[in-house]
Structure 1
Amino acid sequence: MTTSLSLAERLRSGETIRSAWSTISDPLLLESISALGFDAITLDMQHGSHTEQGICQGIGTVKASGKPVIVRIPVGRFDTASRALDFGAHAVIAPMINSAEEAKAFAGAMKYPPLGERSWGPLRGRDGYGQPGSNAYLTAANQQTLSFAMIETRAAYEALDAILAVDGIDGVFVGPADFSIAWSNGLEANPHSEDIVEPLTHIARRAAAHNKLAGIYAPNSAFAKRYHALGYRFITLASDSGYLVAGAAAMLKAWDE
C-alpha cells in the first residue's frame, strides 16, 4: 500500500498494519520480503540474526521499497533504540518491559527533550535529519517515531496501566509465546493457549483506554484475524523462515496433487 501518511499517522487513524517479521539478515532475502504485500517490515535483533550493522543496511533496503520499518531491539538495549532511530527506523519494539521505570528508560532513549533524552546525531541526510538550519525532523520526531513496550510477563501485565501512562510510550506489543510461559507459570510455551485470550483482550482494551496503540505477534493468519478482532491494529505475521517453509510446502503439495 502506497500512502503519504506516516506509520504513526496510519496506526493512530485506526488503520490495521500487517508487518512481515524478519529474522534472517541476508540482504537479498530482506529485499524479496520487502517486495511482498506487507504494509511494513519488522527487523528482529532480539531473537533474529540482525546486528547493528545489519539493521543500518536493512533499514535502507526496506525504505527503498517505500515501506516503514520497525526494529525489535535486544532486552535492555535502549541505546540500540536510539541507534535504530538514527538509522531511519519508524518504530522500535523493546522486549521485557516489566515496570513503569523500565518504560520510562525506554521512552527516554526514544524521545528528544523535553519528553526524553535522545541525543542528536544525524545519519541519513535524505530524510531531512540534521540538515543545517532545519528543525523539521526534531519537531516531528517525537510524534512520528513510535515506541512499543512489550508485555510478556505477569509483572508487565500487573503494571500495564502504569506502563501505558508513561509519556513517550506510544503503545504496547504482546509476545504471545513468552506471555503464555508467564501465564502458565512456566508449564508451556503455547501462543495458541485459550487461557491467554482474556488477558490479551484486556491488554488491547487498556491500550485503547489510554489512547495508545496495541500490537501483537501472530504465528499464523488465523491468529492474526483473531487478534484483530480483539482490538490489535499492528500485527506482525509469522517470520521469514516460515514464509520459506510455507511456500515450499505449498509448491510441493501442488506438485504431488
Structure 2
Amino acid sequence: MLANPVKKCVATGGVSVGTMMFEFNTTGIGRIAANAGAEFAVYDMEHTGWDIESIRMLIATTPKPKLVPIVRIPTTQYHFVSRVLDTGAMGVMAPMVESAEEARLLVQSAKYPPIGRRGAAFSIAHDDYKNDSIAEVVRSANAEVLIIAQIETAAGLDNLDEIAAVPELDCLWIGLYDLANSLGLPGQMQHPRILDAIDRVLAACERNRKVPAVLVTSVEEGRAQIQRGFRLVAFGGDVWIYQSALTQGLAAVRAP
C-alpha cells in the first residue's frame, strides 16, 4: 500500500485539510480536489446511495497519494470495510459508532492478521495490481490505513472513553449535526451541551492519543476548530461548495 501522508501528518501532530464528496461521482472530481489543494477526500456512502462500483471508480481516478481517498461506509459491517479497502481506499470512516465493540469490529475488519481479520486478496486494486511480497503488503496496509470512528450520538458520547481506548483506532470524528439531533438540539451548534461535547471529544483524543476530526462549513469555522485542537478537518462538501460559489457568482453578475 502507498504511504499515507495524511496519516503521517496527523500522527505526528500536524493538521490535514481536505473535503467531502456527496454528489459528483465523476472521473475528474478527485483530480479537481487535489489540484485545489485538498489533502484528502471523504467519499460518502452513508447519504449518497453510491454503491461499491461508484466508489471503485472514484478511488481509481483519485491521484493517490496526493489526494488520500477515504470512504465513509453506511454502517460498521465487515463487508463494507473490507470491500472499500480492497478497491483502494486509504482510509475508512464508520458513522454512529456507539460502543467499544463497534470500534473493535471496525479495526478488526480493516486490519490483516494478527491485528485483525481482514480477508486476503493480493495483486488487486488495493496494492495497485503488483506482485510484491505478501508479507510487506500486509505490513504496509496495516500501518498505512487510516481508521476513523464517528462520535455523533448520545450513546457514542456516553461511551466515549471506551471507544477512544480501542487500540489501532486512529481518529475520532465528531459528527456535530447528527449529535445535535441525537441530543434533541437540531441545528443548535453553539448550545452549551454541544460545546461541552466537543470539549469531551478533544479531551478523550488527548488522553488516548487519537486524532480529533470534524467537518466545517466555512473558513471562519475551520480556523476556529483548528485553533481549538482539531487536526483532521474537512472543508465542506462538493455540492455545498458548488452551490455556494454559483450563488455568489450569479448574484455578483446580476448586481448593478
TM-score between both structures, scaled by the size of structure 2: 0.89
Are the structure 2 counterparts of residues 165 and 30 from structure 1 closer, same or farther at C-alpha, using a change threshold of 3 Å?
Answer: same
The Cα offsets for residues 22-81 of structure 1, whole Å up to 9 and x where unpaired, read as 001431462433432211111000012422111111011113583111110002333211
Distance 2:88 2:207 in 1: 30
Report what 1:106 is aligned to: 106
In 2, the alpha carbon distance for the partners of 1:5 and 1:79 equals 23
Judged with a 3 Å threshold, the aligned counterparts in structure 2 of structure 1 residues 191 and 121 are, in CA distance, closer, same or farther, namely farther
Tell me how far apart the structure 1 counterparts of residues 20 and 168 of structure 2 sit (CA, whole Å).
24
Q: Percent identity?
A: 24
Name the structure 2 match of 1:252. Answer: 250
The corresponding residue for 1:12 is: 11
Judge conservation of contact 2:20–2:44 (CA < 8 Å) in 1.
yes
Q: Deviations over 1:169-208 (max 9, x none)?
A: 112111100111123xx24244454531121022012112
Residue 195 of structure 1: aligned partner: 193
* Larger mean Cα displacement after TM superposition, 49-58 or 187-196: 187-196
In the alignment, what sits opposite 1:152?
152
Equivalent residue letter for 1:227: Q
Structure 1: segments with no counterpart, 5+ residues: none
- Structure 1 residues 154-183: Cα deviation after superposition (integer angstroms, max 9, x where no partner): 111111111111122112111100111123
Q: How does 1:15-26 map to 2 (within 5 A)?
A: 15-26=14-25
- Residue 103 and residue 74 in structure 1: after superposition, are their counterparts in 2 closer, same or farther (change >3 A)? same
Change over 3 Å in CA distance of 1:132–1:38 after alignment to 2:
closer
1:233 maps onto 2:231 in alignment: yes
3-state SS of paired residue (2:62):
helix
Q: Matched residue of 2:63: which SS?
A: helix
Offset, 1:12: 0.7
Residue type of the alignment partner of 2:117: E
Note closer, same or farther for the CA distance 1:5–1:154 as it changes in structure 2 (3 Å cut): closer
- Pairwise mapping of residues 1-257 of structure 1 onto structure 2 (< 5 A)? 6-28=5-27, 30-31=29-30, 32-63=32-63, 66-122=66-122, 123-124=124-125, 127=128, 131=131, 133-183=133-183, 186-255=184-253, 256=255
Aligned AA for 1:148?
I
Aligned alpha-carbon RMSD (Å): 2.1
Tell me, yes or no, if the aligned pair for 1:112 and 1:118 is still in contact at 8 Å.
yes
Distance 2:146 2:194 in 1: 26
CA apart distance, 1:253: 2.8
Check conservation: 1:207, 1:213, Cα contact below 8 A.
yes
The answer to whether the 8 Å contact 2:85/2:126 transfers is no
Residue 126 of structure 1: how far off its partner (Å): 5.7
Tell me, in whole angstroms, the C-alpha distance in 2 between the residues paired with 1:207 and 1:125: 29
Residue by residue, what CA displacement relative to the aligned partner does 1:74-105 show, whole Å, maximum 9, x if unpaired?
Answer: 02333211111111111111001100111111
* AA of the residue aligned to 2:169: I
- Contact persistence 1:180–1:196 (CA under 8 A): yes
Counterpart amino acid of residue 46 in structure 2: Q
- How many positions carry a matched residue from both structures? 251
In 2, are the aligned partners of 1:22 and 1:48 still within 8 Å (CA)?
no
**Distance in 1 of aligned mates of 2:198 and 2:72:** 20
Q: What secondary structure is seen at the aligned counterpart in 2 of 1:38?
A: coil
Contact 2:72/2:94, CA 8 A, preserved across alignment: yes
Structure 1 letter corresponding to 2:204: R
Partners of 2:133 and 2:250 lie apart in 1 by 58
Instruction: Note closer, same or farther for the CA distance 1:244–1:125 as it changes in structure 2 (3 Å cut).
Output: closer
